[in-house]
Amino acid sequence: MRHPLLEELVAKHRPDTKGGKVADYIPALSRQNPSVLGIATVTPNQELLYGGDAPVVSFTLQSISKVISLVLALMDHGEETVFSHVGMEPTGDPFNSLYKLEMMSPPKPLNPMINAGAMVVSSLVKGSGVEDRVGRLLDLVRAMADNPKIDVDEEVFRSEYETAHRNRSIAYFLKEYGQVGDVEETLQVYVRQCAIRVTCEDLARIGLCLAQYGRSVTGEQIIPQPIARLVKTFMVTCGMYNASGEFAIRVGIPAKSGVSGGILASVPGKMGIGVYGPALDEKGNSRAGVRLLQSLSRAWQLSIF
């Protein structure tokens, strides 16, 4: 159902898309329409509300998928093993930075929300080969969103895979220290998880699953509670890249963004939110999407702090 306040806030913030830029280092993403803006929210009683373009647009998860792979790696191996490979601290650097890796010996990516950390986490996801591991990631996304139709956009995958020079260099660097398995296999899993196509509604339901400590909209406990809590904490400290501090102050909701312009947000106990606005700010977050969430958080008093 379209909701008057969500419509009003999208109208208010659509002009903010103008100051942003669509990601262009992945050719397929450069074709997104920069003036699009949409939001969906869903509550534990399954009330689904829309604003703006939400009902008619879809987009790829990109970095939002780092939340999903972290959940699965934790379910596969437990905290101790996962955090022996990747840290728990925000970096203050861009998501694709190599800089701090070189300062550590052996290199241990500072957290699972930067590309280096996410590739280490992806290579921890169990399975026999790329297809099986991506299949397990897809199954988890589908279960969290309660949508069996969610799939990988192979065109976006190919577009990024062929141009993933920086991620390839990060993977090679990590490989030297045995932090990832086969470089191409690691990239194939990581870039495919980034290319999973969703809607704002899907993101809202994924956010609700985390908000309900791992229980999906169907009431099924899909993720163990402590893991749902842990990933929401990462969303607060590292979810919006090196803008996470400001986002926590201005919005105050656990959230994870992607360079496609999607934002997954999860208000513990209350609501899941999915936002899409592909025009990005200089840190790589949806420019209008962040502002829209700030207005919504104020209007509905959603800050967790």
Q: Is 62 in the site for ligand GLN (CB under 6 A)?
A: yes
Measured CA to CA, the distance from residue 121 to residue 74 in angstroms comes to 9
48 vs 255, which CB is nearer to ligand GLN? 255
- Exactly one of 120, 125, 259, 267 is catalytic; which is it? 259
Binding status of residue 95 toward ligand GLN by CB under 6 A: yes
Of residues 240-269, those binding ligand GLN (CB under 6 A): 258-259
Strands (E), the chain: 38-42, 48-52, 58-60, 151-152, 196-199, 255-257, 262-267, 271-276
Our answer to whether residue 66 is catalytic in this structure is yes
The structure tokens 């045995």 sit at 178
| 134 is an active site residue | no
Give the residue with the Cβ less far from ligand GLN, 116 or 271: 116
Q: Is 259 a catalytic residue?
A: yes
Q: Catalytic: which of 42, 134, 231, 241? A: 241
115 interacts with ligand GLN by CB under 6 A: yes
Is 161 a binding residue for ligand GLN by CB under 6 A? The answer is: no
d(CA 120, CA 173): 11
Taking the complex as a whole, how short is the minimal distance between the CB of residue 198 and ligand GLN, in angstroms? 13
Residue among 194, 169, 193 at smallest CA distance from 180: 169
For residue 94, whether the previous peptide bond is cis, meaning omega lies within 30 degrees of 0, is no
Q: Cα–Cα distance between 90 and 303 in angstroms, integer?
A: 20
Q: Which is nearer to ligand GLN, 49 or 189 (CB)?
A: 189
> CA-to-CA distance for 171 and 98, rounded, in angstroms?
10
Binding flag, residue 96, ligand GLN (CB under 6 A): yes
Q: Using the rule CB under 6 A, is 153 a contact of ligand GLN?
A: no
Q: Are strands 48-52 and 38-42 parallel, antiparallel or unpaired?
A: antiparallel
Q: Out of 16, 146, 160, 202, point to the residue binding ligand GLN (CB under 6 A).
A: 160
Q: Active-site residues: which are they? A: 63, 66, 190, 241, 259
Q: Which stretches of the chain bind ligand GLN, using CB under 6 A?
A: 62-63, 95-96, 115, 160, 167, 194, 258-259, 284
